[in-house]
Amino acid sequence: MKISSIVARRRMAGISAGCLLGGMAMGIAAAPSAAAAPDCSPGGVNATVSLVTGSAQQYLAAHPGANQVVTAAYGQPRPQAESNLRNYFTSHPNEYNDLRGILAPIGDTERQCNVTALPPNLESAYHEFMAG
């Protein structure tokens, strides 16, 4: 049963990664970075969005396989994107975990500031990806 729940989480993560990271690759802002006490002002949240987005883009630029599958997934039908992302990140769990770490400040800031930092389509993708 553990294996099936891991597979289910990774499936959801695949959809999320494609939407979230693909959106980032297209220049859509992500969200805030969490520090000990995040700046919850709109300017602080926007600054963190820029930081997280930049970090994700740098990571993807340094990992061409991940960048390719994420960029391609952004324009694919959801089932195809899900399958491609799931297959890629299942085969590359270190990259999956690295990206989760890069994106984690979004949820931290949302919780600490009691805000939704992402547009609705990216918000749901983010939560699915982080659930993996």
Helix (H, G, I), strand (E, B) or coil at 31: coil
Distances in whole angstroms, Cα of residue 63 to Cα of each of 58, 60, 75, 80, 84: 9, 5, 19, 21, 16
Task: Give the residue among 124, 27, 117 at the shortest CA–CA distance from 78.
Answer: 124
The confidence score (pLDDT) of residue 132 equals 62
Q: What is the DSSP letter of 70?
A: H
Give per-residue pLDDT as tens, 80-130. Answer: 887 888 899 999 999 999 998 998 888 888 889 998 888 877 776 777 677
Mean pLDDT of 58-80: 90
Helix (H, G, I), strand (E, B) or coil at 119: coil
Q: Answer yes or no: are the C-beta atoms of 105 and 31 closer than 8 Å.
A: yes
Report the C-alpha gap between 80 and 102 in whole angstroms: 25
Mean pLDDT of 11-37: 45
